[in-house]
Structure 1
Amino acid sequence: MKLGLQLGYWGAQPPANHGELVGAAEANGFDAVFAAESWGSDAFAPLAWWGSSTQRVRLGTSVAQLSGRTPTNCAMHALTLDHLSGGRAILGLGVSGPQVVEGWYGQPFEKPLARTREYVSIVRQVLAREAPVRNDGPHYPLPYLGAGSTGLGKPLKPITHPLRADLPIWLGSEGPKNVALTAEIADGWLAIYFSPRLAPMYNEWLDEGFAREGARRTRAEFEIAASCQVVITDDRAAEIARVKPVVALYVGGMGAPELNFHAQVYRRMGYESEVAEIGRLFQEGRKAEAVAAVPDEMVTETMIIGDAEHVRSEIGVWEAAGVTMLLVTCGDTEQLQRLASVVGTC
């Protein structure tokens, strides 16, 4: 099992120890380091900054939001990072949600699957650099000939030759249609709140994509990186309680009540009534009660928490379910080193 370090996105201030964590990740055999973005820090700059002090570990965005950049601009970011890192970039993309897309970026959220397909197609054209980039689709027309156009737009190839035409593109996706699209057009799946118990369901979605004409990868070539909080502890109950506020936030507050993709994931696991209660309490401002409404099973189903023996056993379960990389967060280098030792990466 490979390990990826998730640096996440910044809070009110930049984290103080991410450089130290990135160095420790490389030294302890982690395969990759990922940075995220929401509506504050971006995903590319931290990877370029911290990645400059590493030689081996891969550098991935998890995820860069589609609406934050045009497809060609995103491809410029990716090819630049790939050159600077000597071919270590992974472009992780995701649509985000309507609150961010329409409220922060001022872009329409409709047709996320069609937008994703067009976006990835354009990025791949840039990276291939075989011809001037064109796109006739309705979401990202190139050249632009719509309202306000001068008619002078010219199809272009990137000035800078990309280091790799096959720079890996992974998609963060949660629903059945989006996961199937991921298997069809991407090189990997960034899975959030993955449940090994539901592996047969995920496999149906993935197999639908792999079976489509022109699918990019086979199952054997495809990577599945699952976000998974892994905590090695002798006080399992205390650690479960500690992460419940995060679950309550994502289920109850990260997305509109009418359209919260994280909540939908837990509904598919069978927690329909629990999700409804957590959401109701959270929206009423009763956050402590929302946290209390999170059952232990909602935590342990999507995270690995326990002593070293339990963690090793559970990692085997996740691997058997098809996961090729656990995407973990670590608060300090001691925690990172212990996890690497238990997993056997160092």
Structure 2
Amino acid sequence: MGRWGITMPLVGTSVLEHRALVEELAGLGYTDIWSAETAGHDAFTPLALASQWTDLRLGTAIAPVYTRGPATLAMQTATLAEVSHGRFVLGIGSSSPAIVQKWNAIPFEEPFKRTRDTLRFLKAALAGEKVTHEYDTFSVSGFKLENAPAQKVPIMLAALRPNMLRLAAREADGAITNWLGADDVPKVREELGGEAELAARIFVCPTEDTDAARALGRMLISSYMTVPAYAAFHEWLGRGEAMRPMQEAWAAGDRKGANKAVPDEVVDQLIIHGSVDHCRAQVAKYQANGVDTPIIALLPTGADQFDLVRALAPGA
């Protein structure tokens, strides 16, 4: 089956309550645990805990490049590489104007360049170099890690469109993407090339209540696909016309109208739902189409989330 990841912590559950489940994951066939960072848990602390509970690979998907200074990001990376004994993958990206600017009071400027500059700084710093450099979006003078990792830490970039995908292929160890359908994967893979790792966060709602799954999907899609980067991503993928009524309603302040305007076929492409067996098979389709590391992002259904993680495992 190759790699098979899960997003943790699960929504609405304490980090500390995950220990028993995390200890089971390898036996179930999971290979990876990836964190996220929006308005809940930070990206690093849950992985530091998980590193003591499992030998799986651990990754951030993603840590924003604006909300920590370059040196702080390097130190957190080196620390997680140490406590995980080299099993850590750093995923970084520009994040969004809401997270960076509205919530963290940091100007969201030149996201492509800021991501590129942070990547270049981190590669030097994590290799143990003393960094003094004037980058396009920031400068660093005289920084050197006291505990540089003993081995290379892979760095992957959040990438939605050709420029970032090509940067990931040229200078990083891979790309992390999300909010795409299984049939979109070949187009993304073509831009990234065949050598770099492609990871994808895949939203999975294991319920046979189609109306409930689509209602949740519409709410999430209208919230995300109105962010400019995601709107441009789906324009590139060919969903521009299908998404336009939703985006127009959202821009007019009609949130309910925006939700209603998301077509069923778009929901069904971007949110996996149905029986557990069907969901597992659909995640595997992403792999078959070119994703190296599918990362399940479990959506709430009212059922026990830990049981659903067990049921979605490749070995179930």
Q: How high is the TM-score relative to the length of structure 1?
A: 0.79
**Contact conserved, 1:5 with 1:33, CA < 8 A, in 2?**
yes
**Contact conserved, 1:196 with 1:317, CA < 8 A, in 2?**
yes
Q: Which letter maps to 1:22? A: V
Name the CA distance, whole Å, in 1 between partners of 2:17 and 2:220.
21
Q: Secondary structure at the match of 2:99?
A: helix
Q: Deviations over 1:239-278 (max 9, x none)?
A: 33332211122124xx3xxxx2122223333332442322
Q: Secondary structure at the match of 1:229?
A: strand
**Contact conserved, 1:4 with 1:31, CA < 8 A, in 2?**
yes
Equivalence map 1:158-307=2 (5 Å):
158-164=145-151, 166-207=152-193, 219-220=194-195, 222-252=196-226, 255=227, 260-307=228-275
Name the CA distance, whole Å, in 1 between partners of 2:9 and 2:222.
18
The CA deviation at 1:9 is 8.9
The CA deviation at 1:305 is 2.3
Q: Secondary structure at the match of 2:33?
A: strand
Q: Secondary structure at the match of 1:322?
A: coil
Residue 6 of structure 1 corresponds to 7
Bigger shift: 15-24 or 174-183?
A: 15-24
The CA deviation at 1:236 is 4.0
Q: Deviations over 1:193-215 (max 9, x none)?
A: 123323343233213xxxxxxxx
Name the CA distance, whole Å, in 2 between partners of 1:179 and 1:323.
14
Match of residue 140, structure 2, among 135, 139, 142: 142
Name the CA distance, whole Å, in 2 between partners of 1:16 and 1:297.
38
Residue 132 of structure 1 corresponds to 130
Q: Secondary structure at the match of 1:134?
A: strand
**Contact conserved, 2:9 with 2:46, CA < 8 A, in 1?**
no
Name the CA distance, whole Å, in 1 between partners of 2:288 and 2:40.
37
Structure with more of its chain in strand, by fraction: 2
CA distance 1:21–1:329, change in 2 (3 Å): farther
Name the CA distance, whole Å, in 2 between partners of 1:40 and 1:241.
22
Residue 157 of structure 1 corresponds to 144
Residue 88 of structure 1 corresponds to 87
CA distance 1:25–1:245, change in 2 (3 Å): farther
Residue 114 of structure 2 corresponds to 115
Question: Structure 2: any 5+ residue segments left out of the alignment?
Answer: none
Name the CA distance, whole Å, in 1 between partners of 2:16 and 2:147.
34
The CA deviation at 1:99 is 3.5
The CA deviation at 1:228 is 0.9
TM-align CA RMSD: 2.7
Name the CA distance, whole Å, in 1 between partners of 2:58 and 2:117.
24
The CA deviation at 1:337 is 1.0
Name the CA distance, whole Å, in 1 between partners of 2:160 and 2:247.
19
Name the CA distance, whole Å, in 1 between partners of 2:19 and 2:268.
30
Q: Percent identity?
A: 29
Q: Which letter maps to 2:7? A: Q
Residue 336 of structure 1 corresponds to 309
Name the CA distance, whole Å, in 1 between partners of 2:236 and 2:137.
30
Name the CA distance, whole Å, in 2 between partners of 1:180 and 1:328.
25
Q: Which letter maps to 2:123? A: R
Q: Deviations over 1:28-54 (max 9, x none)?
A: 2211112222255421122213432x1
Q: Which letter maps to 2:245? A: E
CA distance 1:9–1:105, change in 2 (3 Å): farther
Name the CA distance, whole Å, in 1 between partners of 2:11 and 2:279.
28
Q: How high is the TM-score relative to the length of structure 2?
A: 0.86
Residue 215 of structure 1 corresponds to none
Structure showing greater Rg: 1
Q: Which letter maps to 2:148? A: H
Residue 60 of structure 1 corresponds to 59
The CA deviation at 1:66 is 0.3
Name the CA distance, whole Å, in 2 between partners of 1:170 and 1:90.
7
CA distance 1:240–1:200, change in 2 (3 Å): same
Q: Figure out how many residues of one structure are paired with residues of the other and give that number.
A: 310
Name the CA distance, whole Å, in 1 between partners of 2:17 and 2:125.
35
